Amino acid sequence: MQTVEPKPHKAKIAIGCDHAGFEMKEELKKFSKDTGYEYKDFGTNSSESTDYPIYGRAVSEAVASGECDRGIVICGTGIGISIAANKTPGIRAGACYNTDMARIAREHNDTNVLALGARITAIPLAMDIVRAWLETEFSHGERHIRRIDEITEIEQLLCER
C-alpha cells in the first residue's frame, strides 16, 4: 500500500515593519510565497514615516495569541521594534544580523519573533537570516529550557504587580 507522507507544517508568519522596513517587508512577502510560508501582513504599507511600536505590538500580539506561529518585524536597526515586541508577555524577540545569530536565537533562546534592521542588513542577507531562523528548531537543551523559564518567571512576577 502506498503511504502518503504528511506535509510538514510550515509556520504561519506575522510580519510587520515601520517605514524604514517597508521595502524589506515586501521582499519578505515574496520570499514567503516562494518558499510556501503563509503570512499575515500587519503593515505598514508605505515608506511614509510612522512609529515602529505600532507594528511591533501588532505582530507580537498575533504570535502571543496563537493566531500566527512566528513573527518577523523590521525597522531601521531592528532594535526599536524588537524592544516594542518584547513588551508582549510570551514574546521572545531577537534582532539578528547574520545567519549564526539567527540559528542560535532559535536553538538557545527559542525566539518566536525575529527582528531585522533594514538600514543595517542588505536584503539578500536578510532573506538568508529569515531562512535560517525559520528552519532552525529550539534545541530543548536542559539549560536553555531553564533560562527561558527564568525569563517567563520574571514576566509573570512583573505582570502581577
Reply yes or no on whether 108 is catalytic. yes
Bridge partners, 117 (sequence order): 75
| Residue 37 vs 42, nearer CB to ligand RB5 | 42
Which of 16, 71, 80, 94 touches ligand RB5 (CB under 6 A)? 80
Q: Which stretch binds ligand RB5 (CB under 6 A): 61-69, 75-83, 139-147, 150-158?
A: 75-83
Name the residue type at position 128: D
d(CA 79, CA 19): 14
Helix, strand, or coil (residue 107):
helix
Residue (of 99, 123, 134, 129) closest to 24 by Cα position:
123
- Give the end-to-end CA distance of the chain in Å, rounded to a whole number: 59
Please pick, among 108, 140, 144, 159, the residue that the annotation labels catalytic: 108
Q: What part of residues 104-143 is at the interface with ligand RB5 (CB under 6 A)?
A: none
Residue (of 27, 30, 54, 31) closest to 42 by Cα position:
54
For position 76 contacting ligand RB5 by CB under 6 A, the verdict is yes
For position 55 contacting ligand RB5 by CB under 6 A, the verdict is no
Which of 37, 52, 55, 133 touches ligand RB5 (CB under 6 A)? 52
Chain residues in the site for ligand RB5 (CB under 6 A): 18, 20, 52, 75-77, 79-80
